[in-house]
Structure formats: C-alpha cells, structure tokens
Structure 1
Amino acid sequence: MKDRTLVQVALYAAIFAVLGLLPRFDLPFAAGVPITAQSMGAMLAGVMLGAWRGALAMVLLLFVVALGAPLLAGGRGGLGVFFTPSVGFIFGWIAVAFVSGWLMQALRKAPVFPAALIAAVLGGIVVMYAFGIAGMALVGGLTVMDATKACLIFIPGDAIKAVLVALIAQTVARGMPEALLSRNA
C-alpha cells in the first residue's frame, strides 16, 4: 500500500472519530441504539475514497476502537461496544463505506452531486439498516419487524447526512477534483 493511501485512510478514520465528538441521542425504544453523526463518516469515506480505501478507513477505526480508544459517540470504545445492540451498525460501517465507494466509482460518469447522493443513500441507509436491523434483532432482543420499526426514527437524519455528503463531494470536486479519489480510481 502506498504511503499516500495510508494517509488518506487514516485521515478519513480520523474524520469519522471527530464526528464522534458530536453529542449522541439515546432512544429507549431503539434497543439502546443512539442517533450519532458517525454514520455520515462511513458514507463520506466511501464516497470520497472509493470502495477499498473507504472500507479500510472503517476497519482501521474499528481496530483502534477495539483496542480501547473512546472514538465512538459518547466516548465509547473497547471490545464491549461489539456486544451491544449497535453492533450491526458498527460493523455495517465497513460495508457502508465499501458500497458507497463502489457506487460512486460505478457512477463516475454521472454528475457528482446525484452520484454521491445515490451512493450515500443506497450505501449509507439501505446497507447500513440491513446490518443495523440484524444487530438490533440479534443482540437487542427485538424481532426483525420491531427492529425495522425502531429504525424508522433514523431515516430523516440519515437522509440529511446523505445530502450533506453529496454537497461535500460536489464542493470538493469543484475545488480540488483530485481529492475525490472515488472518481479518479
């Protein structure tokens, strides 16, 4: 792996960690899964870096969290976070980044904003919820239907995050197109 790629992966893992500094909102009816800004970090990593680099950024982040670094929203870290109802979302971030990046690369001939929006919605909402619902059902003790219903509260915020990711990608593409690696891969 090139030095530049390592720096890019580390940078997006750090951006993701910084998003964890924003307050989390706990929802008692969602099996304890909080609303956080960090899902936007996974979408952004994929859209900006592409599939493999974006997924590697999430793997790096989760590795550091597993070592105990309190990088998840609310200052959470350590192996314990992988045994909570949030585990599906947490591991889903890898798939979110990969799918968002893959879609962004597949749509490289489309204008940046709609391509990034599609990538963020399909990767960052559809894929993330597939993992999240499974985690909530398995670890949170909910039925799949109850977990699905509980996730409905997350959709408006995640839709806003997807639009923000698309706006960021479009802004970067205008000012520094070489930084939008998913389009240059």
Structure 2
Amino acid sequence: MERNLAHIALFAAVIAVLGLLPKLSLGFGVPITAQSMGVMLAGAVLGSKRGALAVLLFLLVTALGLPLLAGGRGGLGVFVGPTAGFLVGWVAAAFVTGLIVEQWRSAPLAIVAGLASVIGGIVVLYGFGIVGMALVLDKTLIEATALVAAFIPGDFAKAIITGLLTAALHRARPASILSRQARASA
C-alpha cells in the first residue's frame, strides 16, 4: 500500500515537473506543454488505476492553489477556463493508457505503450478537451477541433517518447513497470 502511494505521488510530481518547462501559449489560451506526456507516462508505467490516481492527486493540489500547471497556473479558476476539458480528460487518458498496457501483452512494450498513449493520451484526451473548449469558448465542436489541431503532431511525438521511455525503463528495471505486474497486485 505504501509503495503504491509513493508511486502515485512520484508521478503526480513528474507531471508537475513537466509543467516547469517553458510553455508556449496559442492565442485562444491553451498552452503547449509537456505535462500531457506525464499523464501518458503515469498510465503506461503505473497502470490504469494508479495512473488515474496520480493525475487526480496532481489535479487536487492544483485545485488547492499550487501553481503546478504550465506557466505557473493553479487554483479553481483553471477548471473553468479553455483547458478545463483537457484537465478533466487527463484522468481518463491515464486510465485508458494504463488499461491498454495492462491488457495488451502480445506486442513489444514500446509499441503497446506508444499506441496506448495515442489512444488514451490523444484520442480520449482530445474528446474531453474539445468538448470542454467548445463549451467554454462557445464554439461548435468542429471549430474547437480546428483550434486544437495544431497540437496533434506534438502529442504524437510525446506518445512515441512515452513508448520508448516505458520500454527503456522496463529493460533497466522490469519491476518498475507496475502496469505489467501480476494483476493480483494491482
């Protein structure tokens, strides 16, 4: 139990640290940030439940006011802005990414983690983000989709990096990839 809590806290911290990288904001208020890669990594490494819990912990401390989002943003206000859907979607993204890595064991881990990151960290995440952005900015779903289309190539790169990092970590320390541990210990 303590080990699970330590891993959850560690990945919440990884997501926070990735927010320290300088952000680049587009004109409609959504920053380009490395934090979504932290979400992908949390799911790929920790698995569905622990990965989602790491994101929830990160969001909790952000809601409490810690300036952990890219650009030093924090507090409840971020949950009503243009990125609100993406923030909520991070939980589902980590969960889906982790679930795919847990269940799909017939292919090399780099491929599984990379594709799981595309499905969870891009497809699922963008579903939440686009709906949230459409609601907050009073745009249609098509207009909101057009606004975030510029992020897709970078997110594909993050998914590839996540797959490679997960596989490298597995080679160095197989026991550290909790998403690949026996299901009974999850």
Report TM bin, short chain: over 0.9
Find the counterpart in structure 2 of residue 70 from structure 1: 67
Task: Give the drift of 1:108.
Answer: 2.4
Aligned residue among 54, 65, 69 for 2:51: 54
Structure 1: distance between partners of 2:35 and 2:58: 11
Structure 1: distance between partners of 2:30 and 2:85: 10
Find the counterpart in structure 2 of residue 113 from structure 1: 110
Task: Give the drift of 1:130.
Answer: 0.1
Structure 2: distance between partners of 1:17 and 1:108: 30
Q: Secondary structure at the match of 1:110?
A: coil
Q: Secondary structure at the match of 2:29?
A: coil
1:125 alignment partner AA: I
Runs of 4+ in structure 1 over 6 Å off: none
1:136-170 deviation line (CA, Å, top 9, x unaligned): 10012221101011111000100000011001001
Q: Does 1:81 align with 2:61?
A: no
Q: Does 1:8 align with 2:2?
A: no
2:161 alignment partner AA: L
Structure 2: distance between partners of 1:153 and 1:65: 26
Task: Give the drift of 1:111.
Answer: 1.0
Task: Give the drift of 1:41.
Answer: 0.7
Percent identical among aligned pairs is 55
Task: Give the drift of 1:109.
Answer: 3.1
Q: Aligned ranges for residues 105-184 of structure 1 at < 5 Å?
A: 105-184=102-181
Runs of 5+ consecutive residues of structure 2 not aligned to the other structure: none
Structure 1: distance between partners of 2:162 and 2:128: 21
1:69-98 deviation line (CA, Å, top 9, x unaligned): 000000000001001010000111100100
Aligned residue among 10, 33, 38 for 2:35: 38
Per the normalisation by structure 2, the TM-score is 0.96
Structure 1: distance between partners of 2:123 and 2:110: 19
Runs of 5+ consecutive residues of structure 1 not aligned to the other structure: none
1:183 alignment partner AA: R
Q: Secondary structure at the match of 2:73?
A: coil
Structure 1: distance between partners of 2:40 and 2:54: 11
Structure 2: distance between partners of 1:151 and 1:108: 32
Per the normalisation by structure 1, the TM-score is 0.97
How many residue pairs match? The answer is: 182
